[in-house]
């Protein structure tokens, strides 16, 4: 009877080549991880920073809308600049608002221009337009050389005042 010798077979040789290859490539995964880790960390920090700035931008815009909503209730509220500014500041509790400006302008209901004088609109009524501008300065969470150290975010809301 003939005995089988596995030492010289193709199966044994292919397994031995794979074992040799594995021993040589054992440190390559660690090197690849070390090379890609800074890129991965930079991407994660960039995503966090983008989220922070986006959140701040939404806060500033919503503050302008809240101030305009307060002021457009009636002409008395439209003239209450302090109330509009306080409403805007209360709507953005996480970000200190910088300047909040309130402007009113007028237009005739037929579409012609008006200087807010009662005699401007013959045959139509005067409509008051309230504009609230907010801004806030945000400091990025991570300092990156070459990028600005602060960002100024702006919000604007325009509403027609109810008569």
What is the distance between the alpha carbons of residues 101 and 30, in angstroms, rounded to a whole number? 56
In a domain, 2, yes or no: no
In a domain, 113, yes or no: yes
In a domain, 55, yes or no: yes
Q: Tell me how many domains the chain contains.
A: 1
Give SS3 for 101: strand
Domain carrying residue 36: 11-160
Instruction: Say how far residue 83 (Cα) sits from the centre of its chain.
Output: 27
- Structure pTM? 0.73
Q: What number of residues does the chain have?
A: 163
Q: What is residue 5's predicted lDDT score, i.e. its pLDDT?
A: 56
Q: How does pLDDT run across 110-135, given as a tens digit for each residue?
A: 877 778 787 777 778 888 899 999 99
Give SS3 for 157: strand
Phi/psi of residue 36, nearest 5 degrees: -90, -15
Q: How does pLDDT run across 87-114, given as a tens digit for each residue?
A: 999 998 888 889 999 999 888 888 777 7
Q: What is residue 55's predicted lDDT score, i.e. its pLDDT?
A: 92
């Amino acid at each position: 009877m003939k005995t089988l010798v596995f030492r010289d077979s193709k199966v044994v040789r292919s397994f031995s080549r794979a074992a040799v290859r594995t021993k040589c490539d054992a440190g390559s995964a660690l090197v690849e991880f070390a090379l890609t880790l800074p890129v991965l960390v930079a991407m994660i920090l960039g995503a966090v920073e983008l989220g922070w700035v986006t959140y701040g931008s939404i806060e500033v815009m919503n503050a302008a809308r809240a101030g305009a909503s307060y002021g457009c209730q009636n002409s008395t509220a439209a003239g209450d600049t302090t109330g509009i500014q306080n409403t805007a500041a209360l709507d953005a509790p996480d970000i200190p608002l910088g300047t909040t400006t309130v402007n009113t302008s007028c237009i005739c209901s037929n579409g012609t221009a008006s200087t807010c004088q009662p005699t401007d609109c013959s045959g139509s009524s005067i409509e008051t337009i309230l504009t609230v501008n907010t801004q806030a300065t945000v400091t990025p969470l991570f300092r990156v050389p070459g990028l600005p150290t602060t960002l100024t975010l702006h919000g604007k809301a325009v509403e027609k005042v109810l008569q």
